[in-house]
Amino acid sequence: MITIDHPPANAWNLAAMQSFEKTLELVEEDRDVRAVILTGAGEKFFSAGFDVSDPGDPAETSHMGRTLWKRVDRFPKPTIAAINGYALGGGLELAMACHFRLMIDSPNISLGLTELNLGIIPGWGGTQRLPRLVGRARALDMILFSRRIDAQEALASGLVNEIKPAGELMNRAFELAETLARRPPIAVKCVLRAIAAGLYEGLEAGLEVEEQGAILVRSTKDREEGFSAFREKREPVFTGE
Protein backbone atom coordinates (compact mmCIF):
# COMPACT_ATOMS: atom_id res chain seq x y z
CA MET A 1 0.00 0.00 0.00
CA ILE A 2 1.18 3.51 -0.83
CA THR A 3 0.01 6.22 1.56
CA ILE A 4 0.04 9.87 0.52
CA ASP A 5 1.34 11.45 3.71
CA HIS A 6 1.90 15.19 3.37
CA PRO A 7 -0.20 16.98 6.00
CA PRO A 8 -2.44 18.76 6.36
CA ALA A 9 -4.11 18.03 3.00
CA ASN A 10 -1.81 15.43 1.39
CA ALA A 11 -0.97 17.95 -1.31
CA TRP A 12 1.86 17.46 -3.77
CA ASN A 13 5.11 19.44 -3.79
CA LEU A 14 8.33 18.58 -5.58
CA ALA A 15 9.73 16.53 -2.69
CA ALA A 16 6.53 14.49 -2.45
CA MET A 17 6.61 13.85 -6.20
CA GLN A 18 10.22 12.66 -6.06
CA SER A 19 9.45 10.32 -3.16
CA PHE A 20 6.40 8.95 -4.98
CA GLU A 21 8.48 8.28 -8.08
CA LYS A 22 10.98 6.21 -6.08
CA THR A 23 8.15 4.28 -4.44
CA LEU A 24 6.57 3.46 -7.79
CA GLU A 25 9.92 2.14 -9.03
CA LEU A 26 10.31 -0.13 -6.01
CA VAL A 27 6.75 -1.43 -6.28
CA GLU A 28 7.02 -2.08 -10.00
CA GLU A 29 10.26 -4.05 -9.60
CA ASP A 30 9.04 -6.16 -6.65
CA ARG A 31 7.75 -9.45 -8.03
CA ASP A 32 5.96 -10.17 -4.76
CA VAL A 33 3.71 -7.13 -5.25
CA ARG A 34 0.81 -8.00 -7.54
CA ALA A 35 -1.61 -5.14 -6.77
CA VAL A 36 -1.20 -1.67 -5.31
CA ILE A 37 -3.51 0.38 -3.08
CA LEU A 38 -3.15 4.17 -2.95
CA THR A 39 -4.77 6.08 -0.10
CA GLY A 40 -4.33 9.24 1.93
CA ALA A 41 -2.99 9.59 5.46
CA GLY A 42 -5.53 10.72 8.03
CA GLU A 43 -9.29 10.77 7.68
CA LYS A 44 -10.03 14.00 5.83
CA PHE A 45 -8.02 14.03 2.61
CA PHE A 46 -7.10 11.50 -0.05
CA SER A 47 -5.22 14.35 -1.70
CA ALA A 48 -5.93 18.01 -2.33
CA GLY A 49 -3.70 18.14 -5.40
CA PHE A 50 -0.94 20.67 -6.02
CA ASP A 51 0.61 22.30 -2.97
CA VAL A 52 0.18 26.02 -3.72
CA SER A 53 2.50 26.85 -0.82
CA ASP A 54 5.35 24.84 -2.36
CA PRO A 55 8.52 26.97 -2.32
CA GLY A 56 10.10 24.69 -4.89
CA ASP A 57 9.77 24.71 -8.67
CA PRO A 58 6.04 24.60 -9.55
CA ALA A 59 6.82 23.96 -13.22
CA GLU A 60 8.90 20.89 -12.36
CA THR A 61 6.28 19.68 -9.90
CA SER A 62 3.56 19.96 -12.54
CA HIS A 63 5.71 18.20 -15.11
CA MET A 64 6.28 15.33 -12.69
CA GLY A 65 2.56 15.20 -11.92
CA ARG A 66 1.70 14.73 -15.58
CA THR A 67 4.46 12.14 -16.02
CA LEU A 68 3.83 10.12 -12.86
CA TRP A 69 0.05 10.09 -13.18
CA LYS A 70 0.50 8.74 -16.71
CA ARG A 71 2.83 6.12 -15.28
CA VAL A 72 0.14 5.09 -12.79
CA ASP A 73 -2.40 4.94 -15.63
CA ARG A 74 -0.08 2.62 -17.54
CA PHE A 75 1.22 0.72 -14.51
CA PRO A 76 1.81 -3.00 -15.20
CA LYS A 77 0.11 -4.03 -11.95
CA PRO A 78 -3.49 -3.22 -10.93
CA THR A 79 -3.82 -0.02 -8.93
CA ILE A 80 -6.66 0.77 -6.53
CA ALA A 81 -7.44 4.25 -5.25
CA ALA A 82 -9.00 4.00 -1.78
CA ILE A 83 -10.48 7.50 -1.61
CA ASN A 84 -10.76 8.03 2.12
CA GLY A 85 -11.31 11.80 2.03
CA TYR A 86 -11.44 14.80 -0.26
CA ALA A 87 -9.89 14.21 -3.70
CA LEU A 88 -9.50 17.56 -5.42
CA GLY A 89 -7.54 18.81 -8.40
CA GLY A 90 -4.43 16.73 -8.88
CA GLY A 91 -5.60 14.38 -6.14
CA LEU A 92 -8.66 13.41 -8.15
CA GLU A 93 -6.50 13.25 -11.27
CA LEU A 94 -4.32 10.67 -9.51
CA ALA A 95 -7.37 8.66 -8.45
CA MET A 96 -8.66 8.71 -12.03
CA ALA A 97 -5.30 7.35 -13.23
CA CYS A 98 -5.78 4.27 -11.04
CA HIS A 99 -7.44 1.19 -12.50
CA PHE A 100 -10.07 0.99 -9.75
CA ARG A 101 -11.57 3.62 -7.46
CA LEU A 102 -13.27 2.92 -4.13
CA MET A 103 -14.68 5.83 -2.13
CA ILE A 104 -15.88 6.42 1.39
CA ASP A 105 -19.65 6.96 1.47
CA SER A 106 -19.91 10.20 3.41
CA PRO A 107 -21.91 13.37 2.66
CA ASN A 108 -18.98 15.38 4.05
CA ILE A 109 -16.51 14.20 1.40
CA SER A 110 -16.46 15.37 -2.21
CA LEU A 111 -14.51 15.02 -5.44
CA GLY A 112 -13.77 17.75 -7.94
CA LEU A 113 -11.46 19.37 -10.44
CA THR A 114 -11.57 22.87 -9.00
CA GLU A 115 -8.56 24.41 -10.76
CA LEU A 116 -10.56 27.04 -12.65
CA ASN A 117 -11.28 28.74 -9.31
CA LEU A 118 -7.57 29.64 -9.35
CA GLY A 119 -7.54 30.68 -12.99
CA ILE A 120 -5.72 27.52 -14.10
CA ILE A 121 -6.84 24.22 -15.65
CA PRO A 122 -6.56 20.55 -14.66
CA GLY A 123 -3.10 19.82 -15.99
CA TRP A 124 -2.29 16.33 -14.74
CA GLY A 125 -4.64 14.46 -17.06
CA GLY A 126 -8.00 15.65 -15.78
CA THR A 127 -9.30 17.10 -19.05
CA GLN A 128 -8.72 13.73 -20.74
CA ARG A 129 -9.54 11.12 -18.10
CA LEU A 130 -12.67 12.68 -16.61
CA PRO A 131 -14.64 12.76 -19.91
CA ARG A 132 -13.68 9.13 -20.54
CA LEU A 133 -15.12 8.14 -17.19
CA VAL A 134 -18.24 10.30 -16.86
CA GLY A 135 -18.90 11.60 -20.37
CA ARG A 136 -18.16 14.94 -22.03
CA ALA A 137 -21.16 16.92 -20.77
CA ARG A 138 -20.74 15.96 -17.12
CA ALA A 139 -16.98 16.50 -17.30
CA LEU A 140 -17.45 20.00 -18.72
CA ASP A 141 -19.97 20.76 -15.99
CA MET A 142 -17.58 19.64 -13.28
CA ILE A 143 -14.50 21.37 -14.71
CA LEU A 144 -15.90 24.66 -16.03
CA PHE A 145 -17.98 25.31 -12.90
CA SER A 146 -15.48 23.72 -10.47
CA ARG A 147 -18.38 21.61 -9.26
CA ARG A 148 -17.77 19.00 -6.59
CA ILE A 149 -19.75 15.80 -6.35
CA ASP A 150 -20.40 13.46 -3.43
CA ALA A 151 -19.97 9.70 -3.25
CA GLN A 152 -23.47 8.86 -4.45
CA GLU A 153 -23.14 11.00 -7.57
CA ALA A 154 -19.61 9.74 -8.17
CA LEU A 155 -20.90 6.18 -8.17
CA ALA A 156 -23.90 6.96 -10.38
CA SER A 157 -21.70 8.76 -12.91
CA GLY A 158 -19.13 5.97 -13.13
CA LEU A 159 -16.35 8.04 -11.59
CA VAL A 160 -15.89 5.46 -8.82
CA ASN A 161 -16.43 1.71 -8.89
CA GLU A 162 -17.78 1.28 -5.37
CA ILE A 163 -18.64 3.29 -2.28
CA LYS A 164 -18.30 1.94 1.24
CA PRO A 165 -18.95 3.13 4.80
CA ALA A 166 -15.87 4.59 6.47
CA GLY A 167 -15.19 1.49 8.52
CA GLU A 168 -15.32 -0.80 5.50
CA LEU A 169 -13.36 1.11 2.86
CA MET A 170 -9.88 -0.24 3.53
CA ASN A 171 -11.12 -3.77 4.19
CA ARG A 172 -12.77 -3.73 0.78
CA ALA A 173 -9.64 -2.27 -0.83
CA PHE A 174 -7.49 -5.07 0.61
CA GLU A 175 -10.08 -7.66 -0.37
CA LEU A 176 -10.02 -6.41 -3.96
CA ALA A 177 -6.22 -6.28 -3.98
CA GLU A 178 -5.99 -9.84 -2.69
CA THR A 179 -8.41 -11.05 -5.35
CA LEU A 180 -6.38 -9.32 -8.05
CA ALA A 181 -3.17 -10.76 -6.60
CA ARG A 182 -4.52 -14.26 -7.18
CA ARG A 183 -4.99 -13.60 -10.90
CA PRO A 184 -2.22 -14.69 -13.32
CA PRO A 185 0.35 -11.85 -13.14
CA ILE A 186 1.69 -12.15 -16.68
CA ALA A 187 -1.80 -12.23 -18.19
CA VAL A 188 -2.85 -9.28 -16.01
CA LYS A 189 0.15 -7.30 -17.18
CA CYS A 190 -0.65 -8.10 -20.82
CA VAL A 191 -4.27 -6.98 -20.40
CA LEU A 192 -3.26 -3.70 -18.75
CA ARG A 193 -0.66 -3.05 -21.43
CA ALA A 194 -3.10 -3.75 -24.28
CA ILE A 195 -5.85 -1.54 -22.86
CA ALA A 196 -3.39 1.29 -22.23
CA ALA A 197 -1.99 1.00 -25.75
CA GLY A 198 -5.48 1.23 -27.21
CA LEU A 199 -6.28 4.34 -25.17
CA TYR A 200 -3.01 6.11 -25.81
CA GLU A 201 -2.00 4.94 -29.30
CA GLY A 202 -5.34 3.93 -30.82
CA LEU A 203 -7.25 0.80 -31.78
CA GLU A 204 -4.70 -0.67 -34.20
CA ALA A 205 -1.88 -0.33 -31.68
CA GLY A 206 -4.06 -1.83 -28.96
CA LEU A 207 -4.91 -4.83 -31.11
CA GLU A 208 -1.24 -5.35 -31.92
CA VAL A 209 -0.27 -5.32 -28.25
CA GLU A 210 -3.18 -7.64 -27.48
CA GLU A 211 -1.89 -10.13 -30.07
CA GLN A 212 1.60 -9.96 -28.58
CA GLY A 213 0.16 -10.68 -25.15
CA ALA A 214 -1.93 -13.60 -26.41
CA ILE A 215 1.20 -15.15 -27.92
CA LEU A 216 3.25 -14.55 -24.78
CA VAL A 217 0.84 -16.19 -22.32
CA ARG A 218 0.63 -19.38 -24.39
CA SER A 219 4.09 -20.41 -23.20
CA THR A 220 3.65 -19.60 -19.50
CA LYS A 221 3.41 -22.02 -16.59
CA ASP A 222 0.38 -20.05 -15.48
CA ARG A 223 -1.43 -21.11 -18.63
CA GLU A 224 -0.63 -24.75 -17.89
CA GLU A 225 -1.81 -24.28 -14.32
CA GLY A 226 -5.02 -22.61 -15.46
CA PHE A 227 -5.93 -25.45 -17.81
CA SER A 228 -4.94 -28.10 -15.27
CA ALA A 229 -7.02 -26.46 -12.55
CA PHE A 230 -10.00 -26.27 -14.90
CA ARG A 231 -9.77 -29.98 -15.73
CA GLU A 232 -9.28 -30.91 -12.08
CA LYS A 233 -12.11 -28.61 -10.92
CA ARG A 234 -9.98 -26.70 -8.42
CA GLU A 235 -8.81 -23.15 -7.90
CA PRO A 236 -5.65 -22.32 -9.87
CA VAL A 237 -2.50 -21.17 -8.10
CA PHE A 238 -0.69 -18.74 -10.37
CA THR A 239 3.01 -18.06 -9.80
CA GLY A 240 3.75 -15.48 -12.48
CA GLU A 241 5.89 -17.85 -14.51
List active site positions: 93, 115
In this structure, how many other beta carbons lie within 10 angstroms of the beta carbon of residue 196?
A: 19
Q: Are 74 and 97 in contact (CB under 8 A)?
A: no
Q: Are 55 and 25 in contact (CB under 8 A)?
A: no
Query: Both ends of the chain: CA-CA distance in Å?
Result: 24
Instruction: Output Rg (C-alpha) for the chain, integer angstroms.
Output: 19
Tell me how far apart the alpha carbons of residues 92 and 53 are, in angstroms, rounded to a whole number: 19
